[in-house]
Each structure stands twice: as C-alpha cells, then as structure tokens.
Amino acid sequence: MAHDDDGTLGVWCKTMCYTFSRAEIGETTSLACWRTELQRLSGIEPSAQHLCWIFWCDALDMPLKVGTEVRADGGHSVEELLPVLGALAESHAELARRTRGPFRSCLLLLKRGESATKCLTFLFRILQHWVQASRLDAQKVEAARASGVVPVQRFEQSAESHFSQLARSQTEPGIGVDNQPAAGDALPLADICFTAAVVREALHWFKREHFQWVDSPPCEHCGIRTLRLKGVDLPAASEALHAAERVEVYECPTDERGCGALVRFPRYNDALFLLTESRRGRCGEWAQAFALALCACSVPRVRLVFDFEDHIWTEFWSESRETWIHADPCEEALDQPHLYSCGWGKALSWVIAIEVGLRTCHLEDRSRVYVPRAHWPAMEERQARTAGDIDAASGLLRMLATLSGGKQYYSETALAAEEHASESEGSTLEPGQHLQPRQSGAPAWIASRGENGPAIAKR
C-alpha cells in the first residue's frame, strides 16, 4: 500500500490499489514504459495520467501531503526515479527526517484535467472535516467533563425516567409516556435505547438552553442586530488560539440607528472553547460542540456528518439497532435522515461521516442514507459533477482510511439504514411528508439557501 523500505509501491486508481514489488519495478526500465503498464491496469492513456505522491504522517497537524504532478522522467529508470518521486512531494524528505510518528505513502493516479482537480478538492474537503473530528480527542472530553458545563447527571436521570415509562407503557395498558422534548418522538418504542434517550435529552438542552444561533453578531458597542457583512479576514493571534481559520467582519450602520463600528465574528473550530465559553455560531460550531457534549455524556461512539451543500450534524451508535443514528442539534432532530432532502428540499450530493476523536480516518459515505432511494439517480449525477468521478472519489475514501490506518465502512450498512428509514416513515406517507423545512436561521437566510421546503426543485 506504500513505498516501504522493501521497495514495494502502491498506486491508487479509482477504487483499486495496485501494488508493485521491487522485482516488478526493476523489470520496467522507464517512466514511459511504466505509464504504459498503468494504462493496461487503469484504462487511462499515458497522456491523460495525473500521477502524484500522497504522504500521510500521524504526527502532523495536517497529516496528508500531496506532491506535484509527475510529468516527465528525463530518462531515469523507475528504480532510480522512485527517490525523485519522493522528493516531488512537498518537503517529503524533510518530513520523513523530522517526524517521529509512523508515516505511509503511495502514488495516486487520476485522469488529468478537470476531473483530477475536482477529485483532489474532494480529498482535501474530507481531510478538513477529519481534522475537526480528530480534535475531539480524549483530552478534550475530559476537560469538558471537568468543566461541569454539560449536565450529564440530569440527562441520565431524565433518560432513565423516560426509558422506564416506555418499558411500562409496553406492558401495562393505560400508562402514559412523557413526550417532551419533541425529539423523543422520532425513535420507535422498540428501537429506543438508553443512549438514544440521553441524546434526546442533550438535544433539548443544547438547542433550547445552551447554544445560540448566529446569522450575524450584534454590535458590541451599540447593540444593534442588523449588521452588514463587509468581508472575511485572517484570524488574530487570540482568535487563532481557538482554531479560528477565518473571521467574518461585519459593519454596523452609520445612520441614526448604528455607530459604524466593525464587529469581528471568528469561526472557531475549538470544540471545548465553543462548548464552555463561546456557546454560539452556525452549524459547524453547533455540530462540533454538540459532538463533544455527547462524548462528555459517555456516548461510546460519535461521528461528525457533513454534506457538500454546506451543513454538518452528528451521528451516534445505537446498541439496540446496531447502526448509526442521525442527531442534528441545530434542528433538535433525532433519527430523521431524510430531513434535508424531503423536509428542507436540499439537492444533496455527497454526505460523509467521520468518527470523532481518532488520529486515524474512520469514515463512511452516507449519501444513500440521507437521500431517499427514488432520488438516488439524480444524487449520483450531482456526485459526479462535484467530485469529477464517483469511482475515483470512492477510491479516495478508501485510500484515506488505508493510509491513516483507519477503517472505511461500506454500503451494506448504508443500505440497511436507508431501508429502516423508509420503513419507519409508514407506507401511507410520501417519503419525508411529515418533515419540516429548516428551522435554524432567519427566514430570508433559509430561503436564500433553498432550504425552506420540498417545493424547492431538486436539481
């Protein structure tokens, strides 16, 4: 899978990884001949091959490095060329010398042109979200618990009470069940478990008591709330301290209503700071902070889930159903995977889930879970437009998992969950009929994003 000390070399192309031994490398005398061999394996003509080095090192904050495209070999033999290929990766040799953690590398073969550009953009988009997920590590979880900001005992007591009522309602006629908060209605009685009951309580607390949605921040000087976005700035040192990668800059009106001040709104990615101090933001901040809150509640496995149409939420593992369950803190939504397609009217393409707190990539393509079966053909067309090539994008997911030492979950899990979601909607309803348009955010902002209901055409 990698260029190791024994001379083996892995070349990823679409969903396949071709491994070459030292003997096989020695039989090929030039890069031109080798490209011909790659054509035989991949079907990509030599003139259309985009070949670059991929390097993963666990010890780096941004562990994946991508080298420049290999364009010509200058007459070198392949064996002579391999060290040159390694040097083409940005700082490859330097990284290998100064990193103490394990590192792995391979070659990536894509079809040159727009498809390669889209595939690499797809790869880095996933990597950015993996970085967010990996920051929710055990140290952050312990700090969140120590802060006392998450009322874990209250959640557990309420969940135990609700869970007991559910059990009694199934065995004793006439026993009522407390249906508050509303998110608890989403899980069928037969499928609910104690973890799901805790998540139900956490959703209610997080949205209604703890976290604040921000379309635009209020003016810190005069308090006016209607500000104009002026632009985006780089973070100051104090903002970068909490992993802000960009800062939205708003301008207070200069008329009689406002004072003309500039207001900075850092988009923080430090989940502990968001959960315990900032307590505000949009979906990115909500999902990271809520995922950390679930971990602080000892929910055993949590994932961040993001779509390529700009929304992010969480999933948790259900012991009783033995699958991942959707939980969106922005909407206080539990087990409603078709909310975005059928409630909001979003035309989804890729939906990717990444398990939190790990220095390896444990991920899954969840697109078919969050899009009803009838809409899969249109979804796949959008996936191809977004990533350039569906097979190549799927291969990149597998490559990330392999290089990092993680795991890629496969479509059988997604299909089972999709079928369960379809069954739970009831045969007399159209898919998503009972699901609401987006609730988080101002109506005009929701409408501008096309998330105000299924009347919005699915393109």
Residues annotated as catalytic are 283, 311, 328
Q: What are phi and psi of 8, to 5 degrees?
A: -70, 150
| Burial class of residue 15 (count of CB atoms within 10 Å of its CB; 0-12, 13-18, 19+) | middle
- CA torsion through residues 174, 175, 181, 185, sign: negative
Strands 49-57 and 64-66: antiparallel
| Burial class of residue 171 (count of CB atoms within 10 Å of its CB; 0-12, 13-18, 19+) | exposed
- Give me the DSSP letters along 417-434: HHHHHHHHT-TTS-TTTT
Q: Which residues contact 252 (CB under 8 A, 6 or more apart)?
A: 219, 221, 222, 224, 227, 258, 259, 260, 261, 262, 263
Task: Tell me the three state secondary structure of residue 146.
Answer: helix
Token pair of 232, please? 């985006």
End-to-end CA distance of the chain: 39
Q: Which residues contact 64 (CB under 8 A, 6 or more apart)?
A: 54, 55, 56, 123, 124, 127, 400, 403
Q: What are phi and psi of 106, to 5 degrees?
A: -160, 175
State the Cα–Cα distance between residues 49 and 12, nearest whole angstrom.
Answer: 12
Strands 323-328 and 262-266: unpaired
State the Cα–Cα distance between residues 304 and 24, nearest whole angstrom.
Answer: 41
Token pair of 141, please? 């979880």
Bond before 181 cis per omega within 30 degrees: yes
State the Cα–Cα distance between residues 129 and 352, nearest whole angstrom.
Answer: 9
Q: Report the candidate in 355, 356, 325, 354 with the shortest Cα–Cα distance to residue 339.
A: 325
Q: Report the candidate in 139, 140, 444, 112 with the shortest Cα–Cα distance to residue 288.
A: 140
